[in-house]
């Protein structure tokens, strides 16, 4: 495993830091805040991201022939880490584009990947359903092959970006007689296809609205209905019936990177930065040995999150497979985030429970809103229980548990 960056990578980090410090003004931040889920910006923020794209930073590690820079995944990690720490999401990330690069046809790669890099194409993840949640083996939304088309019927839920997306990375059951993971397929569905209905599901972060810097502070997710939606058969990603493997390749890529680990460790940095402020309550807590010990413990765990990410990236750099390593990262980092959020609430006391609407809220309520959203990270992109099963079977070679204690 490689623990340090080389001179070129350190130079890139300094370049990105200098760009953010010089270019990211208060006016740009306000324009970004007025948008939604990192898109739909006003002219000021659009001009800022045009400068980012002009430097090639939104597709650094992606192939040159599809609009990327063809540089290393570590370069992309460095850039995403610095922008993520500044509260900005950049790049054509998301499950859609990485999975297309891994499993798509040449036509699909050329049709989608450049647009993802430019920000013209945005994928919403169409996995969860009312009856199965994160247990994707229970998916019932169906796509029936009719000539050169698929006809889609069913429902998805918790599609957070559906109302701003251009396409859906949709997991459907194409073999109605299949069970569990067999018979699933992935379709790349335009969001404006006839028969798609999007309805908002307002989250606990909606009233009052979570402040800037809240992890999982989205005020809205969605339920999406498919009523005889017809799409060309060319929307199929990979082979019909192989959707589980196609999705797994995309999810493994998407779970590893700066953005994912920062979701779990930025709250550690928030409390450290708050304690450093030269105010009476902060100084008193900063001097408390119990507080210092707990914050040090959280900080060390945060570094473990980062090293787990670096391990997966090192494996990928050497051309290896990091399925169970990515699963380990997906278990440790979100659970650390929950522990950190709860510990910060205990450190700050009752005022840490005040939301953004209260004038006495600590840091505009960011710690309280983080607590509201903390457990979401243990479910998104696969629950930690499912990830533990992958670690046991793929990492340790243990048998899959059967019914009533039997193994299979």
> Which helix (H) or strand (E) segment is 237 a member of?
strand 236-237
Task: Give residue-wise pLDDT tens across range 363-382.
Answer: 999 999 999 988 888 887 77
Name every residue whose Cβ is closer than 8 Å to that of residue 320 and which is 6 or more positions away in sequence.
Answer: none
Residue whose entry in the numeric block shows the structure tokens 């060319």: 234
For strand 167-173 and strand 123-126, is the pairing parallel, antiparallel, or unpaired? parallel
Mean pLDDT of the 247-254 span? 65
Task: Give residue-wise pLDDT tens across range 219-230.
Answer: 899 999 999 999
Mean pLDDT of the 295-324 span? 84
Domains of the chain in start order, with CATH, are 7-91 (1.10.540.10), 123-241 (2.40.110.10), 256-405 (1.20.140.10)
Comparing C-alpha atoms, which of 257, 216, 222 is closest to residue 379?
Answer: 216
- pLDDT greater than 90 at residue 258: no
For strand 142-146 and strand 149-157, is the pairing parallel, antiparallel, or unpaired? antiparallel
Instruction: Write down the mean pLDDT value for the chain.
Output: 87
Q: What DSSP state is assigned to residue 34?
A: H
Task: Give residue-wise pLDDT tens across range 274-289.
Answer: 999 998 889 999 999 9
Weakest-pLDDT range from 119-123, 246-250, 251-255, 289-293: 251-255
- pLDDT greater than 90 at residue 68: no
pLDDT of residue 1: 58
Q: From the centroid of its chain, how far is CA 95?
A: 8
CA distance 216 to 260: 12
CA distance 123 to 112: 10
pLDDT of residue 134: 66
Residue whose entry in the numeric block shows the structure tokens 């998301």: 94
pLDDT of residue 185: 95
**Residue 325 or residue 367, greater confidence:** 367
CA distance 81 to 102: 23
Mean pLDDT of the 325-346 span? 89
């Amino acid at each position: 495993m490689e623990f340090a960056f080389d001179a070129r990578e350190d130079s890139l980090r300094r370049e990105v830091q200098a760009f953010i410090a010089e270019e990211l003004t208060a006016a740009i931040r306000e324009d970004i805040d007025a948008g939604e889920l990192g898109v739909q910006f006003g002219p000021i923020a659009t001009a800022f991201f045009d400068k980012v794209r002009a430097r090639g930073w939104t597709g650094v590690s992606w192939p040159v022939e599809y609009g990327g820079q063809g540089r290393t995944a570590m370069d992309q990690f460095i850039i995403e880490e610095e922008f993520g720490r500044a509260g900005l999401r950049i790049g054509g990330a998301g499950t859609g584009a990485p999975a297309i690069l891994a499993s798509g046809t040449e036509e699909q790669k050329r049709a989608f990947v450049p647009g993802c890099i430019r920000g013209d194409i945005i994928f919403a993840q169409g996995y969860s359903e009312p009856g199965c949640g994160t247990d994707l083996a229970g998916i019932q939304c169906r796509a029936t092959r009719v000539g050169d088309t698929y006809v889609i019927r069913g429902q998805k839920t918790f599609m957070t970006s559906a109302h701003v997306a251009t396409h859906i990375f949709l997991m459907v059951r194409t073999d109605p007689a299949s069970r569990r993971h067999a018979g699933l397929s992935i379709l790349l569905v335009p969001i404006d296809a006839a028969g798609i209905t999007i309805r908002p599901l307002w989250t606990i972060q909606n009233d009052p609205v979570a402040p800037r810097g809240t992890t999982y502070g989205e005020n809205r997710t969605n339920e999406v209905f498919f009523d005889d939606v017809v799409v060309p058969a060319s929307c199929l990603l990979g082979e019909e019936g192989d959707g589980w493997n196609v999705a797994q390749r995309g999810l493994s890529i998407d779970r590893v990177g700066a953005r994912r680990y920062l979701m779990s460790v930025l709250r550690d940095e928030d409390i450290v930065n708050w304690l450093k402020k030269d105010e009476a309550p902060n100084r008193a807590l900063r001097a408390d040995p119990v507080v210092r010990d707990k914050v040090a413990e959280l900080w060390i765990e945060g570094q473990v999150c980062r090293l787990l990410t670096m391990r997966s990236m090192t494996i990928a750099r050497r051309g290896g497979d990091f399925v169970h390593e990515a699963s380990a990262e997906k278990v440790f980092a979100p659970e650390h985030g929950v522990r950190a959020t709860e510990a910060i609430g205990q450190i700050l006391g009752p005022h840490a429970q005040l939301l953004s609407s209260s004038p006495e809220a600590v840091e505009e309520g960011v710690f309280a809103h983080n607590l509201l959203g903390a457990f979401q990270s243990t479910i998104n992109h696969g629950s930690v229980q499912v990830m533990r099963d992958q670690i046991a079977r793929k990492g340790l070679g243990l048998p899959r548990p059967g019914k009533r204690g039997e193994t299979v």
